[in-house]
Structure formats: structure tokens, C-alpha cells
Structure 1
Amino acid sequence: MASVSSLADEVSCPICQGTLREPVTVDCGHNYCRACLTRYCEIPGPDPNEPLHCPLCKEPFRLGGFRPNWQLASVVENIERLTLVSTLGSDQEDVCQEHGEKIYFFCEDDEAQLCVVCREAQEHQAHTVRFLDEAAGPYREQIQKCLECLRREREEIQRIQSRENQRIQVLLCQVATKRQKVIFEFAHLSQFLEEQQSVLLAELEKLDGDILKQRDVFDALVSEEICRFSTLVAELEEKLGRPARELLTGVRSTLIRSETRKCRKPEAVSQELGQRIRDFPQRVLPLRREVTTFLEKLCFELDYEPAPISLDPQTSHPKLLLSEDHRRAQFSYKWQNSPDNSQRFDRATCVLAHGGFTEGRHTWMVMVDLAHGGSCTVGVVREDVKRKGELKLRPEEGVWAVRLAWGFVSALGSFPMRLALQEQPRQVRVTLDYEVGWVTFVNAVSQEPIYTFTTSFTQKVFPFFGLWGRGSSFSLSP
């Protein structure tokens, strides 16, 4: 082992370059074999009186100053034992630790590996003991089975990971597309709002100017009237202060002129201008409608990617009457003269759309008419859905659908579940997201979510429709 070798290098003697034997430490702290250091000290120098020096650092030390290093000696012993174990390797693993004999047997009861001596021991006499290879055989088979199961589960997890990563990428692309739509639509709305703001501000500016003009006319008219009445008041005041003879002179004409003077009562704001001011809020109503329309359009475009679908008459049950354009179906108790084929439903009164889908995101509108009762089923089905005999409407059979009946709506899961909705849908938007595995139903009028199925599609799927009850019908919105 590399770590044991590196430790062995650390406990070598600087003089003999071997592993330290009876290590001793001199005054400077360096360690040597006792025998090596003793021989070093016995070598005579040029000056017998000169002190001894450490072979490594040349620091002086006393002849009797070195002392045994017992801790280092223990470390050296442990390193040598580890080195021996690593050298012997696997040879010792096949040898019984207690008896030193080679291991040949395995005790099933104690799950212990035995040598010949262990095999004959009293505690194993009544146990099931086999040779190692014989005992390992069944365990190898069990391990092999476990490996196969684990590998299958690992592959399944890897498939799920791949599928979910693909779904994530599809969703990211959808989000990016929606982001571009939002940016585009809001830029268009921003331009429209700026234009409308300019129009409304210009109209307010005109109203402001007209009010000021009428104020000036009003002020001029009032000033003129005040001036005229001031003249009459002054004349009457002057008349009143005269003596009787002067007061009576021409008094009747003065009174007639004063009494017959009609006061003009001008209006500061004309009725027409006042009406324009009162009607101004009405100018904002088209703007409000435009913003409402914008929000509806934005929600619609973010969620609606129309798929041009039509009904496939080759799949239609004989009790369904299809329109000539194959976009409307009505239930009838009278059987149609429809040739039988492998694609046609013969028990379930259902019909599929043309084409089908193996990828992408698609949406279609279904307008339901249940005025006379009955029910309508909408959703998607797998290509291999059962066409003959009884059809069980649930995901296990390859059907993801909801049923609309008079007064309630049900999601057709493994067990049908009645849904609590604010209103009965009459127009349903169905959205299929193939890669993500979503089938979503929404009330197309109120935008209220109805239900969403989550699954993983592995084959082609088709829009699916079913009817039951006299007069029930549906049509596909263009």
C-alpha cells in the first residue's frame, strides 16, 4: 500500500537507511538506530577533545545525551506489521484466523466460513455445512435475480428521466413561445393605449380651450350688463336725492325705463359644452372594451392552438348522424346503413376524428347541445382502443374523457368522478399535449377549468366523441 510505504520512509535511519532499530533521539531531536549511532560515536576524529556532532544537522551532542524513543519504536513496529499484512495479501484471507488452516466449507446456519478443524467442532455438528462453491451457487442465483431486478428498475428510472426531461424541454419551448406572444401582444396594446391617450388628451385639451373661450364671452357679457345696471342705479340714486320739483320732472319715463329693463342672465358654460363634458366618460368605454377584448384574446392565444379536425365516418357508430362536412353529429335511435369494418364502433355510440396525433400540442372546440337530455362524451383515445363489443371509458382502456350530461359533468377516470363546476359547460375546449402527457378540458365560455388527465402517450391518439339520448348532438367549432 502506498500509505504504508510512505510511513516506512519516514521511520528510516539516516545512517544505515534502514528501518529504525531501537530508535534513540539526540539533543537536536533527530532519531537513529542505537547500534548505528554507537558505531558513529566510536569513530575517532582528528581532535579527540572535539565534541560529537549530529550526522544530519551537525549540532553538537553529548556522548551520553541520547535517550531511547519508545513511542517511535512502537510506531515502527506497527508499520512493519501493516507492511507484512499487505505483503501477504489475499493468501491470509483464505486461512482460518483461529487454526491457521485453509478454509474449505461454509456453515449455512451460522453463515460462517470453516476450515477442516472448524468443521469437526461440536458447535457445527448439527448444522448444514457445504463446500464453498456449492454453498455459493444458490446465493449467486439470488444475487443474479436481484441484479436483473435492479437493472430493470434502473432502466425504468432512466426511461422516466428521459421522458420527463423531454417533457421539460417541451414545456420550456411552450413557455418561450408564450413569452413571445405576451411581448408581442403587450407591445401592440401599449401602442394602442398611447394612441388612445393622445386622442383623449387632445379632446380634453379642446374642452379646456372651449371652456376658456366661453368664460371670456361670459365675462364680457356680465361686465356689459353690470355697467348698464350701474348706470341706471346711479341715475336713480341721483334722482332720489333731488328736490320734489326736480324729482317729479320726467320721473315716469325714468321709472318706465328702469322697470322695463330686462336683465340678461348669461350662462358661463353652454348646454352643448356641458353635455360634451358629461359625455366624455363614454369615450373611455370603447377603450375598456378594447382592453377586455385584448385580455380575452391573449388568454385565448396563450392556450388555444387550434387543430383542424373533422369526424371520421369510417369509425362512426350506426346510430350517429354525421353532417355532410363531418363537423356535426346527432344521436338517433334509427340505425344508419353503414357498412361494417374493423374501425367502426359497434356497441359504443362513438366516433373518432380523422388523422390522430403522435406529437405536439393541439386544441379543438366542441359545442354540446343537450337541450332534450342525453349525454355527450369528449376526450382522446389510443389508436388500439377497443372498437367491437363493450367499451369501458377509463384510462386503463386507453380513454381519457369527460362526460357532460343534463345537470352534471363527470371525469371518466378509473372510477367516474362527478365534478363541482360553477356552470354547466356548453362549449368545451379540449387540449392535448402529447409530449407532456396532458389532456385538459376547459369551459370555453367562462374559462373555468373542468379537468386534466396526466399520462404518458406511447402511440397515436385520436379525438374522441360519444353521444347518447334522443336529440343530443355536438359540433366542432371552426
Structure 2
Amino acid sequence: MAECKVEVDVDGEGESENESESKAAERPSLMEEDLSCPVCRDLYRDPVLLSCTHSFCRGCLEHSWEQKGTHECPVCRQGCDGEQPIPNRALRNTCESYQREKGWRVPILAAALCGLHRRELVLYCVKDEEPVCIDCVTLHRGHELSPLERGVPGCKEELNDKINIMEEKVESFKRMRHKCSATSEYIRSQAQQAEKQIKMEFEKLHQFLNEEEASRIAALRQEEEEKKLRARERCYILARHIATLNETIQAVKREMGADDLTFLQNFQALKRRAQWTTEDPHSAQESLINVAKHLGSLGFKVWEKMQSHVKCLPVIMDPNTASPWLSMSPDMASVCASEERLLMPDNVERFDPCVFVLGSEGLDSGRHRWDIHVGDNPKWIVGVCKESVARKRKFTVTASGGVWTIGLSKGVYSALTSPRTTLNLERQLETVRVKLNVDKGEVSFWDPSDQKHICTFTDTFNEKVFPLFGPGLNSTPMAIIPAKVYVNSV
């Protein structure tokens, strides 16, 4: 008995196995779908990329834009006005490789044509830097023309040069960014250190004020107890006198009540008894608390006493100008050489490589004076300089260059003129006094130990001048000596 084979289609339609295989073969592969333009559903031809990341055939995209009259992505509808599609070379190469693997013929893109003559662009004008056709030669008379393939290397070389310049700028900007980041960290540490020092200084002031307050309140309490004790003693004496007088008065009154004869017989004795010989009481001087002593000009007296606990510096050094080879004290009053180069930002105000530091304030008028302790340093420079003095390179220290200073080097004292002027001093300088009269244009140097004049520079100051300190690479600190404060009553 012959068997009968029946094929059943779940959708109600009968279909043979061969027909299913044929239809599956007709369907494009997943790879081919990924390489197909969403507009024409064919493999990409000259694919271009939009900013929305969708790709299309150049012709399909241009045709779509012409039909709709607006520039938008055919897939996501994102606006593309003013956008120039970017050639998607990677996608084009992938499509061509896929076609070669399939044995298909790779289509050759139509050659670009001259917009004026509609001829193929085959030449390159070096002067105008553009491709031209044969008919354009007459429009480029006297210009150097070369085949397209010869013009490409020169253009690429020029662009490579520009790319190299931009890459160098990128590296420069990266270094600057790193410097800015390091500066930001340094600013943070500066603020923390400054806050710590402020708290320490105020802690000292608070301690002094608290001790002064306690001392003055104790003095007030002591005077209060003394004055109260004196008042109690006087009250006690007065109470005794009152009791004695009352007793005498009562006794005399009783005697006066006796009979006439007895009264007259005792009259002289009673008269003597009724006579008060003790000195009458009087108000004591300085019996009250001397409030004026305790409260009069209290703030000024405390401030005056505080001078022994605080320093008044006529000049303060600016740490932002100090060379990285210098170490400065927390109060910015002294500086000496550092054992190693300190990690500091390379800000424009800082001296490097010269080993200098400036005062914190520029001076453009008036008279000023400050003393500098140089000690036994074998090499140093002190004086003033103009604000525009070089900071990032070595320079010759001379008055003609806007630096008015004296110094010690190799055992010789000199005024730093050009050439240097030797100073014949009778004794070794341990302290140097600098006097500056900006209005008169004078900078003079003195030995404060015997008030002897050393030398004077005369010049015209056309800009701010700053105190200059050059301690050299010595371990002995160069220090600003605190000034004495005087109060003149008018």
C-alpha cells in the first residue's frame, strides 16, 4: 500500500520546502541590511554622514532634500539647515569590500565636473589653491598648474604643518591647564595656611586681652575692697562716738533732774562732763573708687601696652614675588636661602631665576624709611626697583636699569651703578637703613648704628617703586627690623 505524504501550513496555506528555501535566499542578509541606504534600500553609493549619526547615499539625501524643500534627516527628522554632510569613507570602504567578496562589480563614482565648463577637473592651480578643468587654463594665466595628483602632496604637507602647529598649541594648552590646576591647589593651601596664621595671631591677641582684662578687673576689685574696708572702719569709729555721746547725754540729763542744791553742787563737774573734746568727724579724701584711672582712655592704654607684644613692620615682603630658592618666615619679615627649590606657581610676579623678593606695596609718593638686618651674610643686595623690572630672566642690577641698590660681594661694598662704585666704609655693615623720597627722586642708604651716610641715588621715578631684597644663597636670614611707634598729642 502506497504512503501518502501531506504537508500542512500553519497559516492555512500550503507551501513546499523548496519554495521556503527559495524565498529565504531572496531575502537580503543582515550584513547587507546594515550596508543599505534607508532611502533607496540599496547598498550605499558615496555615503555621507549627518550630525544625527545617520548615513545616506549622497544622491538619495540631496534628492530627499530637493523633494521636501527642507534640510532634515529622512530618518529622525532632525533639522540640518546649514549643515554640510561629511563623507563616510569607512562605510564606503566597507560596502566596496562587501561587494568584492560577493563578486559584484564595484560602481565607479562619476568624476567631479567644473561648475563653469562642465568638464572634468584634471588640473590644480597652485596660486588659487583649487582644482580646474582644461578650459579654465585661460582664466589662470601665469599661474602654476599641475596634475591633480601632484597638487595633493603639497596641500597635505601644508595642512600637516598647520596640524603640527595646532598640536603644539594643544600641548601648550595642556601644560597651561596643568599649571592652572596646580595653581588652584596652591591657592587652596595658601588660604589654609593664611587662615591658620590669622587664628594663631588672634589667639595671641585674645590671650593678651584676656590677661589684661583680668589684671585690670583684679586691680578694680582690690581698690574696691580697700575703699570698702576704710569706709567700714570709719563707720565703726563713728558708731562708738555716737554711743559715747548718747551715754553722756543721758547721764547729764539724769543729774539735771536732781534737787537744786545737788544740781548746783555738781554743776561744774557736769559742765566738764558735757564738753566733747574729741575732734569732730570729717569726710575722708579719695574715699571713692578712682573710676577715671580704670576707665579713662582704656582702649588707648591697652593698645599702648600691646606694643610690647606686637611688631610694627615698615615694609612687608611679598611671598608671591619670592624666588623658589628663598624661604620666607610666616610673618613675612625675613628671608633666607632654601635648601632645595620650593614648589611654587610660576606666576608672572615671581623672580626666577634671580634670587630676589619685593616688598608687598608699591610706593609712588611720600617719604619712607626701613632698616634691614643683613648680619654677617657674605653677599647681599638691598634697595628699591621699578615695578617693570624683569622677573623671568637674569638682568644686570644697575641704576640705569631701574634698580637703585647697594650690596656686598667678595668682601667689597658697592653702589650698583654701571660700572659699580666702590664704597669705602669704616666698619662692617650689620644693618642698612634705606630712605626713599619718591617726590624728590632720592634713594639714600645709611648706617643706623652711627647715623652715617653711605650713598644717595638721584633719579626720576616714572612708575611705582618697590623695596628690593636680595639675600643671596645664604642660610643667615635677611630681616626687616620692626619700627618704633610714637604717639604725638596735638
TM-score between the two structures when normalised by the length of structure 1? 0.41
Larger helix fraction of residues:
1
TM-score between the two structures when normalised by the length of structure 2? 0.41
